Structure 1
Amino acid sequence: MRLLIILQLLLFIITGISAQNTVGGLVYELKNDNREPIAGANVYWSGTTIGISTNEEGRFQLPWTGQNSKLVVSFVGFESDTIHITRPGLAYEINLSQDKLLNEVTIAARQPGAHISRLNPITTIEITGAELCKAACCSLAESFETNASVDVSYTDAATGAKQIQLLGLSGTYVQMLTENMHTSRGLSSVYGLDFVPGPWMESIQVSKGAASVTNGYESLTGQINVQYKKPATSEALFVNGFASSSGRWESNVNTGFNLGEKWRTAILAHSSADAVKNDHNNDGFLDEPVTRRNTFMSRWDFRPNSHLFTQFGVKVLQEDRTGGQKVFNRNADPFAQDAYGIIVDSKNLESFFKTGYTFENDEDKSVAIVTNFTRHEQESLYGRKYYDATQNYFMGNLILSSYISDAEKHKYTTGISYIYDDLAESLTGDVSNMSIPDGSRTEHIAGAYFQYTYTIPEKLTFLAGLRGDNHNLYGSFFTPRVHVRYNPDEHFVIRLSGGKGYRTPNALAENNPLLATSRSIIISDNITLEEGWNYGVNLTNYIHIGHREMTLNLEYYRTSFINQLIMDLDRDTREVYFYNLDGKSYSNVFQAEASMEIFRGMDMVAAWRINDVKVTTNESLQRKALQSKYKGMLNFSYATPLPRWQIDFTTQFNGPGRIPTTAGNPTVETRRPEHFSAYQIHNAQLTRYYRNWSFYAGVENIGNYTQNEPIIDAASPFGNNFDSSLIWGPLMGRKFYFGFRFSIDRG
């Protein structure tokens, strides 16, 4: 409490002595005498490249140089406006009117669906809604098919669980956020990528390297932040339907509307099912589990005036997942049938509350409180092993933002945070060959942080942050992070980053799909906090070729672990070990990417990534198993004028990799080679647009490539050699799909 009072007093003192060197305000549309914020409007000084887009609340802020007086505001479908600015420090309110000649406008170029933020000192890829519509984006797990930085793969061949990889490391080292609030943490991270419906997402931000200290200490390789549709920007009505040749169907509905001048709300609903038992390789096991999933979200926005806002909401999910052998009956006693079955029933509840205040006549100073709560329940069966777990997670964050002397040059963000994380686990059944200590634990983490930003407009941004946290199980530790963004000229950006990260490992909770094997699981009883450093450099060059611009991006990132939870599949063919790192573990990732509009309507993205990831397993430093040495991507997207038609084609190039040894298995049929070969995946989609409708059809994995015999000894799942963990390639072959979208914008 004393710290809170001191921080508040400091904020108010600085408020009285600070200068005003910016121009800010609100861009909105007047509908039925109500102000509707316009997110994404372009605001820039006439005759310059100095500009910004309005945020989700329609607000903007630009540096004042004293050299320009004409501020231009524009947005597609609205008449542009030019305002003469006489002095900084005032809050301008700009009302845009819809363009009456919109139907006669011809679009000469389109905005890239994914691009690197030009202003953020942290390397951040902005994935827009338009990019998400280039593929069958049914969930967050399927949102990165046209992205070269993020990989999504199966964790095993039986449960359908998926994992993200960023900078060569698994998704446990990526901080998953929903509107800058923690989500998919611990237990819920295993199947959580399927819990976020694709049509609900407004955009995704993927940041690489050490992240900001304001969001915690956990990020080691980066952050993935999902932005849902919001009460202020949601359609009046949106309906989506989807069906595929694999037997999958889904529907999504959302609506947003105003309740008077101060209240807004949005309601989102999702229902989906994988209803067909597919077994294309005839090994007796389902290629993907049969699932049923229902999700509902209600969110609210209260804005009594232009300086105060409050947002809150709740999301509930229930999923039933049934996998294993095709003849398994989930309604029968698993010990009374010979069939091997997998049942994973999940219930998830998420809620959040945000409130913030921006000081009058000075929008550079604000105070906010952000809280969120998640409860995840999982009841699961793997063969004849029962794994039940519950996790309750709460985080509160008090954030103060202001500046020192000059808002244009010296800004800071400071605050305090608290985390409560309670995990309860139960493992019963046929577990006689397991050596697993009870992973139940309760965490209390109190932290404080300070982040300073120094800016020379259009040239340099220096961001340095430090946070300290006290953990009831692991004591106190500090997290330093630094980011630098430098512009030698308007066409070239250099970014440097470095920082530390920590993570609480949850050996069984985050790896419980390993129970779908006959391997003995042996977990050390002294697992400690994971700790590592991340360093990176990013070079972005904007090259003008005629009237078009090509973006060339080169980057290198290194992650080096001081301590890491090691999952060792190399020590013994019939066992998997979890223990603290004893030796070296690091990841070196180099990526080159080029994107541009080749000709009118035709966008191209080409990328190549090299993964040099090594870890000490079985007392030997060796290449990380089940990971490709390189990854390439080539994407073409063509849209006719207006647009009416759009076609997207993506090729993914996956390099060879190492497979843990299976030499200890008794027969040739139960052994696998020690390396897998390179392979390619091709996807295509065709979309037809109408005024309120769009229809799309596509095919995934055109070449019908799948990993051969992904399950070892599938014919004897209760035997000693059954193993579904050695997965490096796709499990589903060629798949056709069809869908539609219907939307009515707010009138």
Structure 2
Amino acid sequence: MKYIIFFIFISIPSFAQFIEGKVTDKSKQPLPGVLVFWSNNTNSAVFTDQEGLFKIDKPADGKFLIFKFLGYFPDTLVVENSNYLNVSLKEESQQLEGVIVNGNATLIDKLSPIHTEIITTKTLAKAACCNLSESFETNASVSVSYADAVTGSKQIQLLGLSGTYVQTNIENIPNIRGLASTFGFNYVPGTWIQSIDVGKGVGSVVNGYENMIGALNVELKKPEASERVLLNMYFNNFGRSEANLNLAKKLSKKWAVGLLSHGSFLKTKIDNNGDGFLDLPKYDQVNLLNRWKYTSDRLVAQFGLKYLKENRVGGQVSFESRENTPNSYGFTNNTQRVEFFSKTAILFPDKPYRGLGLILNASTHNSDSYFGFKPYFANQNTLYGNLIYQDIIGNTNHTYKTGLSFLNDNYDEDYAAIALKRNEIVPGAFFEYSFNHLDRTNLLVGLRNDFHNLYGNQFSPRIHFKQEFGQNQTLRLSAGRGFRVANPLAEYYGNLVSSRSVRILEPLNPEVTWTFGSSYMVNIKKLSIAGEFYYTHFENQMIADMEHAEYLYFYNTEGKSNAKSALLELNYGPVKNWEVKLAYRYVQIQQTMGKPYGEKVLLDKMFLPKERVLLNVGYAFPYEKWKIDGTLQWNGKRRIADMEASADHKSYFSMPTTFAPSFVNLNGQVSRNFPRFEYYLGGENLTGFKQKDPIYKPQHPFSTHFDAGMAWGPVVGATIYTGFRYKLI
């Protein structure tokens, strides 16, 4: 066995002569991770390191040296001697043109007036990244936490507010919204993801009206530019297993096809805290995406079909089914989702600044759940269309996008005695003007108007401004309006695992926000310093009131509701293969509450830590054969419900205040790269911190005060995982 391990991890030189060089992009930025190999000997392939440097053995018959990197055209050089090589690769797509590299793994869109951070595959590889909800472990802007202690659903936070205020798109199609907001971030496998754009502040009017504090746009692997074969296997100490297989093939110069597949399951009964409830639900998931793409000089068209099926079982350890164990509390969820999409673009080769695009998307989402004996049956059918035309005004310094959109959401929800049915029909129109002066001064002004069949006319103006000072300083400003229709049961799904009585006190109006923000970035050689501040004012907000142990109230706010978020972030590197990120975030979210008793009291939002510190350190050995990454997070105190005292208090002015303690999380991963294989071993929550008693009164789940929706920290202890990735480019 020791000899097998020895040959896996040690490379033995076979040749005495070497070829060395450096690989960069067109702006002379180094490209790490480029595959370098001889045309007649692919087994001797190597990768470029973080400085874009490579060193490869030269066989006696070695003549043609090939360079391959995802998103770039491959290049082949004829090597006549052993001179030092400088290689520049050309991008296949212009999508990331103008992106500036900070620490290699952290990309900031330099041209966009919207502060946009791009999470690349390099960043995603720093952790296991099994799905989208686990893709932000090294990100200072987005935080992720479990929504409760039973269902396994996760929620994200951006600028201190929950992910329901963030428009999450899959390739510019609004996707994780409505009923999908419950488990939607678990439905995008990490190996499907090419990159994630994190836009902060109110976003562009082109993609819709629901962008209120930021936007996530997830780009998936494209069939024409991804690995021919990618196999990823993952296992952890709790019994969670995952398999991902991506296949892509160019059928001709114009056609390409891809298949993304995912299967995962957890069947182990885990109760590490001994409260009689499963710490993690048992589940199984099958997820498939088939997509086709056609490309010609004047037309680009792609279409695809997604299918997802997932089953979850949680609750008491003794629970098997409602029929066989009726005296045990159980949670079950069965979800099926089918989605079709198409994207068509008409190009004008003689006028590349002009284009006409049409996006179509149709989906059906069915979810059947039981919380004990309380059923929750939900269905959502959605039809979405977006027609976009872009052109210039006079010259390319002045451009615009205009178009029409259409959204139809049909909801049908039944929970206990509550029936929520609505059919939303929302036609809209938008116009967005962009001014660009030498890529240093950018102004983006957008106007959109949507007519909602239930809530009338909605006007959403937005403005963004960017100014560069010198070569290394950038200021951004933004302001704008957004609105959305809330889905109380789906968005607070985890709070249904309780004996709380759900009361919707009045018809819920759309949530309306005005968000103002600014950011400033300074680059000093290998060091970048970024500071930002965002303020969100709610004209109306749906309040989820959990102040009283027996009730979950929903109502419209009357009075002040606002959010303030500040972030200071430092990125240093790469320097001698080191990268360091240090960030501090402060948030304050306040809501006017008290409507159940006719009061108006401004209170801090529960379960939200005001302070968060993140430290990420990465080191790559020469040629990135070995990589080590570690992330330390400190989460500050947060206000939580006082379950013992809140039931006896009738006034919000004297509501008992309880705070959860601060805690530290430590994640780490070690990976070993080979030309086609990558092995990784890592851990999450290595400090082993667990929330004490995450479920209130677990011994009496059918009693009045039982509540599993009060989770504010990790429920399970340390997680150890391992896996491998196989790539055939």
SS at match of 1:642: helix
Structure 1 counterpart of 2:279, which letter? Answer: D
Aligned to 2:557: 581
Match of 1:333 among 320, 323, 327: 323
Match of 2:292 among 277, 290, 300: 300
Secondary structure at the counterpart of residue 731 of structure 1:
coil
TM-score normalised by structure 2 residue count: 0.85
**Alignment match, 1:11:** none
Aligned equivalent of 1:702: 686
Separation of aligned partners in 1, 2:444 and 2:125: 34
Aligned to 2:531: 554
Q: CA deviation at 1:722?
A: 0.2
Counterpart of 1:250 in structure 2 is: 242
CA distance in 2, matches of 1:475, 1:489: 47
Cα distance in 2, alignment partners of residues 389 and 218 from structure 1? 21
Task: State the alpha-carbon separation in 1 of the partners of residues 133 and 556 from structure 2.
Answer: 29
Structure 2 counterpart of 1:265 = 257
- Please point out which of 561, 567, 575 is paired with 1:599: 575
Alignment correspondent of 2:411: 423
Q: 1:200 aligns with which of 188, 192, 196?
A: 192
Equivalent residue in structure 1 for 2:443, among 454, 457, 462: 462
The answer as to 2:401 corresponding to 1:413 is yes
Deviations 1:96-119 (A, max 9, x none): 633456998799x99621222211
Query: Quick one: distance in 1 between partners of 2:259 and 2:700?
Result: 47
CA contact (8 A) 2:513 2:540 kept: yes
Structure 1 residue 324: Cα displacement: 0.4
Q: Do 1:479 and 1:499's aligned partners in 2 also have CA atoms closer than 8 Å?
A: yes
Distance in 2 of aligned mates of 1:373 and 1:105: 50
**2:206 aligned partner, one-letter code:** T
Match of residue 75, structure 2, among 97, 116, 122: 97
2:479 counterpart of 1:502: no
Cα drift, residue 489 of structure 1: 1.2
Distance change in 2, residues 1:598/1:255 (3 Å)? closer
Query: Which amino acid in structure 2 is aligned with residue 309 of structure 1?
Result: V
2:674 is aligned to 690
Percent identity, aligned pairs only, is 36
- Residue 456 of structure 1 aligns with an amino acid whose one-letter code is H
Give the C-alpha shift of residue 642 in structure 1. Answer: 1.0
> Conserved in 2, the CA contact under 8 Å of 1:421 and 1:444?
yes
Matched-pair contact (CA < 8 Å) for 1:439–1:506: no
> Does the Cα contact within 8 Å between 1:106 and 1:641 map onto a contact in 2?
no
Aligned pair count reads: 648
Measured against aligned partners, the alpha-carbon deviations of 1:684-737 in whole angstroms (never above 9, x if no partner) come to 100001110010001111110011000000000001110112121111211111
Counterpart of 2:218 in structure 1 is: 226
The answer to whether the 8 A contact 1:602-1:636 is kept is: yes
Match of 1:525 among 490, 499, 506: 506
Q: Counterpart of 1:91? A: none
Q: 2:153 matched to 1:161?
A: yes
Match of 1:175 in 2: 167
Q: Do the aligned residues in 1 keep the contact of 2:102 with 2:108 (CA within 8 Å)? A: no
Q: Does 1:609 align with 2:588?
A: no
Which residues in structure 2 correspond to 1:264-663 (within 5 Å)?
A: 264-303=256-295, 305-330=296-321, 332-333=322-323, 337-407=326-396, 409-428=397-416, 436=418, 438-544=419-525, 549-570=526-547, 572-597=548-573, 599-618=575-594, 619-663=600-644
The separation in 2 between residues aligned to 1:598 and 1:419, in whole angstroms, is: 45
Check conservation: 2:288, 2:307, Cα contact below 8 A.
Answer: yes
- Which runs of structure 2 are paired with 1:714-725 in the superposition (5 Å)? 714-725=698-709
Q: How far apart are 1:622 and its partner, in Å?
A: 1.3
CA distance in 1, matches of 2:148, 2:359: 36
> Matched residues in 2 for 1:184 and 1:232: separation?
25
Instruction: Name the CA shift for 1:76/1:639 in 2 (closer, same or farther; >3 Å).
Output: closer
CA distance in 1, matches of 2:554, 2:359: 35
Superposed displacement of residue 314, structure 1: 0.8
**2:227 paired residue number:** 235
Cα separation, 1, equivalents of 2:356 and 2:509: 35
Whichever residue aligns with residue 346 of structure 2, its letter is Y
Between stretches 719-728 and 317-326, larger displacement belongs to 719-728
User: 1: CA distance between counterparts of 2:120 and 2:249?
Assistant: 22
Q: What secondary structure is seen at the aligned counterpart in 1 of 2:723?
A: strand
8 Å Cα contact 1:319/1:347 also seen in 2: yes
SS in 2 for 1:500: strand
CA distance in 1, matches of 2:523, 2:294: 41
Provide the rounded CA distance (Å) in 1 between the counterparts of 2:228 and 2:611: 44
Distance 1:95 1:629 in 2: 46
Q: Do the aligned partners of 1:106 and 1:642 also contact (CA within 8 Å) in 2? A: no
TM-score, L = length of structure 1 = 0.83
Return the offset for 1:42.
3.6
Q: 1 CA distance for matches of 2:315 and 2:270?
A: 11
> In the alignment, which of 669, 679, 685 is matched to residue 663 of structure 2?
679
- For 1:149, the equivalent position in structure 2 comes to 141
Separation in 1, partners of 2:695, 2:239: 22
Query: Superposition RMSD on alpha carbons, in Å?
Result: 2.5
| Residues 412 and 41 (structure 1), Cα distance of their counterparts in 2 relative to 1, 3 Å cut | farther
- Structure 2: how far apart are the matches of 1:41 and 1:301? 29
Match of 2:46 in 1: none
Tell me how far 1:482 sits from its aligned partner: 0.2
8 Å CA contact 2:103–2:579 kept in 1: the answer is: no
